[in-house]
Structures are given as structure tokens and as C-alpha cells.
Amino acid sequence: MSVLTIALDSMGGDHGPPIIISGAVKALHQHPHLFLILCGDSQRINQELKEVQISICKRIKVVHCQDVVTMEDKPSVALRRKKDSSMRRAIELVASGEAHACVSAGNTGALFALAAVLLKTLPGINRPALVSHLPCQSEKSAWLLDLGANISNSDTTLVQNAVMGSVLAQTVGHFGVDHNQFAPKVALLNVGEEHNKGHEIIHQAADKLKKLNKINFIGYIEANEILSGKADVIVTDGFTGNVALKASEGIYTFLREEITRIRSSNLWMKILVMLCIPILKKLYKKIKPDQYNGASLIGLAGIVVKSHGNANANAVAFAITQAIHEVEQDIPHKIKTTIANILLE
């Protein structure tokens, strides 16, 4: 692909254009074949672009939008009242084929609703799911879904999510691996590994997954094993998935703040922390949240990546990179084909 175009909701997130556009510029430096369409208030966007070098600006198009979807807006407001929002326009550009994908750090509920209406779900998919990857004890990462797009899921939706997660893990999650030889290990998140643990929906989903020979289903996994590397894809409902994700992020914050507190407690501790800096840097490089920013709305006939609302510029660049990888791997088509071969045959 010579030129890859991504539409960016420049008004989304907690910080708006300054952080979003800074992240966009970083992504343009990292990916020479990338072209960005920045949707939002053109005056504010152009103000942020004043100091950006001309060669980078040539790979940017600004589309003025009058409306902004706020974090407090209900999805119905975004759908019916804000027809010219930066979020909606970015998704419309994907629907029309003018952009290969869109990235937004805005209101998750509104993004989900707009994407579902404007892009539609793929055949065989009941509802899109929000998925992201997390660091593991091994060198690879694990994909967790659903992260909140659907608070509760039926057994059928859990099975569909397992198939979609498997496609994503196989094609995007393991660079340098022969994808034809890699069968992602898929597990259902449960309160125990025994077959009789959990509620009936989990049991029904497990029974269906056991019958799918093309899915490498390994059974149940408990929350303390999410980051163990035992499974490549971990499937759960949106409520539980969101809680698990936020808990994982909280652990990172706890560790960072504890290290800072210990380092400041006395001179001896400060010296010990200094001696441990090489180890801490290696650990930080592996678990820092920036590189895991970019949750994908999969199951749609188009690519939509959700960035954290409080993301910094580096995290925004990572979200854009995630969208690029999904475009290059043509994830919607691969999910559509796999669903047809496995669930609709």
C-alpha cells in the first residue's frame, strides 16, 4: 500500500487538539507512507500545526467540523443532534472509502454507536467488541475482549468474540511469527478453571467453542492468569473486561508511585533504587501503558481504534500505529472470511 490514510478525531479526549495533533505528528514521522485527515475545529488545528515542518504538513488534510462530541454526551445526542461532529466525520470518511481507518480518543459510547450505525457490523456478528492487548510474562501479549462495548454478552456473542480475537491475535499480535503456523490459544475468563464453575452463559459458550476445530480453545482462565501468557486471547463480557483492564492499569500506577515513594524515603533507599535502574527501565519498557493504547472496535465493516481519553502524545501515536497494522492486515476482511468459514458454514 503506497499511501495509507487515517481519519483522526482531533477534538476527542481530555486534552483535545494539542495532544492529539502532537501524537499525529509523531506518527507521521514514524510512518512515511501515512497520510492523515484531521477532523475538527480548523482554526484550533491550524494553530497547532504552525510549528510543524512543511514536509509533514503536506501529508495532512484538515476537515472543519462545527460540532464536538463531549465525554458527557449520550450516544443518542452524538447520533441525532451532532451531525457535523469531528467524531462522526472521521467515521464517515471510513464509510465512504476516503480513509482506511479512523482513530478517536473521544466518548466510547458515542464512538461505538456512531461506528455501528455508519459502518454496520459484519455478517455473522451480532455486536462489535472492544479489544486491546496487554503485556504478558512472556515476550508476546494477550488480547482481552470485550472491554466495555457490551456490558453483558450472550453465549453466541462470546463465541463470535473468541473467533474475532483469534483472527486479531494471529495477524496483528505476533509480528515475526509465521501466521500459518500460529494458532492463538483462546480462553474464557471465569471464576475458576473447573468445568462446573461460572454461570450458564459461560458454560454454553465453552460447549460451543469446544466444537469449533479451527479455534484453539483451551478452556477457562482466572483473572490472576490474564498476564501469565497462558492464553493469547481472553474472552469475557464488557463489564468484567473493563474492570479487569482498569485493575491492570491500576497495578502499573501503584508500582510507579510506590517506587517513587521508596526512592524519596531516605538516602539508602535512593541508592538502592539507583542500582536497580537498569532492571526498572526494562520493566517500564515492557509495561508502560502508552504502547498498549489503542483499543479496536472489531466486528465492523471498517477499522475504528479507540485511544484512551487521557492519552499523551506518545500513546496517541501508538493508537495510530495500531490502526495502521490493522489496515495493512485487512482485519475486517479476515474476520468476515473466518466467521463465514467457522460459524456460518
Q: Whole domain around residue 169: which residue ranges?
A: 131-291
Q: What is the CATH number of the domain that holds 146?
A: 3.40.718.10
| Nearest-angstrom CA–CA distance, 323 and 6 | 8
Q: What is the pLDDT of residues 287-312, one digit of tens each?
A: 555 555 668 999 999 999 998 878 88
Give me the mean pLDDT over the 324-345 stretch: 87
> Residues 322, 266: one domain?
no
> Residues 1, 113: one domain?
yes
Return the amino acid letter for 50.
Answer: K
Give me the mean pLDDT over the 46-72 stretch: 93
> Residues 97, 139: one domain?
no
> Residues 108, 231: one domain?
no
The packing angle between helices 86-95 and 108-119, to 10°, is: 30
| pTM greater than 0.85 (yes/no) | no
Helix (H) or strand (E) holding 92: helix 86-95
Give me the mean pLDDT over the 29-54 stretch: 94
> Residues 209, 231: one domain?
yes
Residue 178 above 50 pLDDT?
A: no
| Nearest-angstrom CA–CA distance, 285 and 280 | 8
> Residues 22, 1: one domain?
yes
- For 2, list phi and psi in degrees, rounded to 5: -70, -50
Q: Give the mean pLDDT of the chain.
A: 86
> Residues 109, 243: one domain?
no
Q: Does residue 217 lie in a domain region? A: yes
Q: Does residue 341 lie in a domain region? A: no
CA quadruple 298, 304, 307, 308: dihedral positive or negative? negative
> Residues 273, 135: one domain?
yes
Q: Does residue 274 lie in a domain region? A: yes
Q: Does residue 22 lie in a domain region? A: yes
Q: What are the counts of helices (DSSP H) followed by strands (DSSP E) for the chain?
A: 13, 11
Q: 331 near 128, Cβ under 8 Å?
A: no
> Residues 283, 308: one domain?
no
- For 197, list phi and psi in degrees, rounded to 5: -85, 150
> Residues 173, 241: one domain?
yes
> Residues 183, 271: one domain?
yes
- Count structural domains, the chain: 2
Domain end, chosen from 261, 291, 321, is at 291
Q: Which of 107-121, 165-179, 185-199, 312-326 is predicted least confidently?
A: 165-179
DSSP 307: P
Q: Does residue 340 lie in a domain region? A: no
Q: 188 near 235, Cβ under 8 Å?
A: yes
Q: What is the pLDDT of residues 78-94, one digit of tens each?
A: 999 999 999 999 999 99
Higher pLDDT, 210 or 192: 210
| Nearest-angstrom CA–CA distance, 331 and 327 | 7
> Residues 143, 286: one domain?
yes
SS3 93: helix
What letters, b where the CB count within 10 A reaches 16 and e where it falls short, cover 124-137?
bbebbbbbbbbbbe
Q: Does residue 75 lie in a domain region? A: yes
Q: Does residue 343 lie in a domain region? A: no
Q: Does residue 345 lie in a domain region? A: no
